[in-house]
Amino acid sequence: MSDTKKRSGGRLPKLAARQVHAASAGDHGDGGGLILRVRADSAIWVFRYTAPSARRREMGLGIAPRQSVAQAGASLTGARELADKVRKLLSGGVDPLDERDRTRQAAAEAEAAAKAERARETWTLARCARDYHERVIERTRTPKHAAQWISSLENHIPAAIWHAPIADVKAPELLAALSSVTPHEHARNLKGETVPETVRRIRQRIDAVFEDAVFHERAATNPAAAIRRKMTEGSKRERKGKLAALAYAEAPAFAQRLRAAEGTAARTLEFAILTAARTSEAIYAEWREVDLDAATWTVPGERMKAGEDHVVYLSARAVEILRGQIGHDARLIFPSTMREGEPQSNMAMLAVLDRLGMRERTTVHGLCRATFSTWANETGAARSDAVEACLAHKESDRIRASYNRADFATERRDLLAKWAEFRARPAAPVIALSARAA
């Protein structure tokens, strides 16, 4: 059998190049199932066959260019070669249309996989964090807090993780990275909080980034959420549950010694005690936050644990301390004495306790907050809600918090004034100052 006859499936081809060029509207068979189909000004090649399933089917083989005899001849040759490939599939029991669909599906899946891989490599943890920072943090926080938010991640997340595809970051390596945060890095970048506080804050921010990435299908899991419990396991502070604090009966005697101590750090510690403030709230206090005439200090939300502005009602002694600091620095109330224009180290107040021989008996946090809280609650100096408001504790009961909008301004001002009066006493008798008894 000749090659020409083989190509046509056992039949001699019927079409010549000139016939393809001049063909009118209709179907023109070339033999062996190959057909030239002309419709108006268009022409296509079609292969008609019986599938292995016994169904009669047609498969398009493409457009048939035929503007010239030469072009028509080339088109005819190409169509016959395609028809030969289709016949080979049929001889092997394969339906060519099904095979074409499978090939297209495989190509589409390969392209989708390649696209996903490109996206995976493009959406690094760094890019996702900056994208979330731009869309959410910059629009909802102050410029200063927004800048600190992203810099805390850039300065503490190792480059190998920071620039890795976010979908590839695993919980164990993220935990190891956060466990490597040091006091030196912390003191430079995160305002003198303790290292555990630094790590928790970074984990919370990374958690938000991963949660956003999962939502946008850039990552499948959130390893920052997975390591939350692991970060507290084995923590001495977490197991103990509280920090050492001075018994409030000893507060007046200590207040006299502290008032006699010289130096900015001593005044910072005294002010923090009088206002029940956290370390970072006090050492970063700025003049723009206080109103001496109204005797108020408004700590911005960016420096508060709960993330909300907190108004502190100042006692007479607290205002006196502030007035004594006027002229030391144009911006900071309690500036460093070693580095002009910079805040004190978070160790400055601890050094005061050391000088006064109290470091083994109390922490700064315990002295400023736990001692105050114990005194206020045990003596009945004010309602518990007012005490919690002075401490800027976030309401744990969300439903109650949604209805409780009172800021207890009068009670808080009165409570801090009573605290200052109690500390100013020459002795420390435990006298109930119950508002309820009054």
Can you give the pLDDT at residue 402? Answer: 39
Can you give the pLDDT at residue 50? Answer: 93
Please report the beta strands in 234-278, taking only residues with DSSP state E, as ranges in sequence order. none
Can you give the pLDDT at residue 208? Answer: 93
Can you give the pLDDT at residue 392? Answer: 85
Q: What CA–CA distance (Å, rounded) separates 170 from 176? A: 10
Can you give the pLDDT at residue 86? Answer: 93
Q: How many CB atoms lie within 10 A of CB 211?
A: 15
Can you give the pLDDT at residue 292? Answer: 95
Please report the beta strands in 268-419, taking only residues with DSSP state E, as ranges in sequence order. 290-291, 296-299, 310-313
Task: Catalogue all structural domains in the chain, each as residue range(s) with its CATH number.
Answer: 3-91 (no CATH), 125-240 (1.10.150), 248-423 (1.10.443)
Which residues in the chain come in under a pLDDT of 70?
A: 1-13, 116-121, 181-196, 232-243, 394-407, 427-438
Can you give the pLDDT at residue 12? Answer: 59
Can you give the pLDDT at residue 178? Answer: 83
Q: Name the DSSP class of 217.
A: T
Can you give the pLDDT at residue 186? Answer: 38
Residue listed under structure tokens 């090659």: 3
Can you give the pLDDT at residue 107? Answer: 84
Can you give the pLDDT at residue 194? Answer: 52
Q: What CA–CA distance (Å, rounded) separates 263 from 258? A: 10
Strand order in the sheet with 42-50: 26-31, 34-39, 42-50, 56-63
